[in-house]
Structures are given as C-alpha cells and as structure tokens.
Homo-oligomer: A and B are copies of this chain.
Amino acid sequence: MTEPPAVARPRRTRADKQRNRAHILEVAEQFFAEQGVSASLDAIAKRAGIGPGTLYRHFPTREALLAALLEARDEELVARRDAIVREENDSARALEQWLEALDIWVSAFDGLPDPLRDALTEGTSPLAMTCQGFVTTTEQFLAAAQRDGRAQPWVRGRELFLSVLATAWVRGAALADESSARSMRAVLRSGWALPG
C-alpha cells in the first residue's frame, strides 16, 4: 500500500498569469473596438507581446475572450436594469428603455450580434449564460407590460431579444444614418401595418 498522499495545498495563482490576462484583455478590447469581433487573435497576442499559445491558454476560444470582455459591461447593464425598475413606473416605457439598453450593449463591438445569436442556440458558448440572463430580464419587463395590456400578448422575450440583435446586425453595416436606425426601431415597436 502506498502512503496516502498529503492533500497538496493549491498554490497561489502566478503573478505573471494575472498580469498577462489583464494585458490581453486590454489589447483585445482595443482590437475588437477598432476592427470588430473578427480581429485576428494572433495579432492580439503579438501586440500584447505574448505567444499565441499563451492567449489560447487563457481564452480557449474567441467567444471566451469576448465573454470576459463583456463581463464588465454586463455589470453596467444589470445596473441599468435596476435603475429602470426603480425609476420607471410605466411598464411599456420600462420595456422600451430596457430594449434600448440592450441595443447599446450589443453595439459594443462591430459584429457582436453574430456570436451572441450563436450562443443563444448552441448553449455551449461562454456567452450563453450572459445571453440567457438578459433574455430572462427581457421576459420580466415584457410580462409586466403584457399584464398592463401594453404589449402584444403573443410576443415572447426570446424573440424580442433576438429582434434587438437583428436590428443591431442590420445597423452593423447597412444603415448609414441615424434616421434609418430610428425607423428600424419604430418598425420593431409598432410594426409596419395599419389596421384596414
């Protein structure tokens, strides 16, 4: 029988690891902001002064890196949600403000709607948690508006969230002016049809 090995006390995380992680995030934020979410990961590593292997050890996929970057903004969005709940009594206006906040959030980087859409279906992406949370919040605002007869009863939160992604996707490249963006939002809100 071998000696029962003493349970190894886990070491503290190495300092260079934390330093590298933070630096990668800084550089990635800049690259994604400038070039969109498809920016070259190797280029980010190079600019951060590390090898590709190091980047991939910290963030195994592009989605993992994105998820880490969005975490800080997630907190802002949660704060915004709380502020809306606190300050807005009209349930329809509250929903509208929440959708607007979501819209700003998904516009953080060019091309962000694509990985978010994928995360919403695949469920395995590190972005999925975040997404699902915001879908739930959307459902809560929506349910309140529906209770007050201020939102179509057949709409669901998931589709509303996807609509926000979709309008952001359109804006990504196809809308030159702000008036088009407003128009898209209006279509989302009140549709194109008038009762005959």
Contact residues of A with B, CB < 8 Å?
A: 90, 92, 95, 117-118, 120-121, 142, 148-152, 154-156, 158-160, 162-163, 165-167, 169-170, 172-176, 180, 183-184, 186-194, 196
Contacts and interface: CB of A to CB of B under 8 A. Distances in A.
5 contacts: A142-B192, A155-B186, A156-B180, A162-B184, A166-B167
Determine the main DSSP class of A at the interface with B. helix
B176 A159 contact: no
A196 B190 CA distance: 12
A159 B184 contact: yes
Nearest to A166: B166
Contacts of A192: 95, 142, 151-152, 155, 160, 188-189
Contacts of A188: 187-188, 191-192
